[in-house]
Amino acid sequence: MTLPDTPRRRVNFFEGRLVTAEDLGSEQQASRERVWLHNRMLHGAGVVAGFEVSVEGEELVVSPGMAIDGFGREIVLTGGGARLDGSDVVAESHGRVHLAVSWAEEPDDEVIGPDGPVPGHFVERPRLSLREIGAAGADADHVVLARVHRAGTVLVADGSVRRHVRRSGHGDR
């Protein structure tokens, strides 16, 4: 759990101040960083809810859910969940292959800015990946959902490796 390196700084808005895109971006980033710090320090990294993993043939099926990565970012998978091809998992993986989710964002649309086209919005879309995880564990930017291996030729997803966040005051775990 890491604390910020510098003191918090925020824009001082007042009547008559010219507000720039940089001011608004700074305010937005400061707000995001406060939430990330809260999540990191009070809850830790792991699955909050959902993100159940099942197998259908050679596909890994992940249900909608929420997790917090090691940086405190909220990873939210909405809609009908997601699927990932698991056919590359081989029997000799020795249980080191894990299905992980990470935070990601991508431009959603385009608007014309002063210097040409720029993203009008960003949408957070988690990324699923199969990763070989050694004794050191997952990177801070990934949350492990399941260990993936083969029992003979059958693909298996073992969710016992999932780590859940601390949920103070919630007796449902």
| Fold category of 21-161 in CATH | Triple-stranded beta-helix (2.60.520)
d(CA 126, CA 1) in angstroms, rounded, equals: 22
Q: Phi/psi at 170 (nearest 5 deg)? A: -110, 115
Question: Residue 171 above 70 pLDDT?
Answer: no
For 79, how many CA atoms within 13 A lie in the half-sphere containing its CB? Answer: 7
Q: How confident is the model at residue 173 (pLDDT cuts 50, 70, 90)?
A: very low
In the beta sheet, which residues pair with residue 117?
112
pLDDT mean over 31-43: 92
C-alpha 102/C-alpha 114 separation (Å) is: 33
pTM for this model (two decimals): 0.84
Residue 9 CA to residue 41 CA, distance in Å, equals 19
* CA distances for 91 relative to 43, 57, 74, 97, 120, angstroms: 36, 15, 33, 10, 45
The pairing of strands 65-68 and 74-77 is antiparallel
User: What residue spans define the domains of the chain?
Assistant: 21-161
Whether the CB-CB separation of 9 and 31 falls below 8 Å is answered with no
Predicted confidence at residue 169, as pLDDT, reads 55
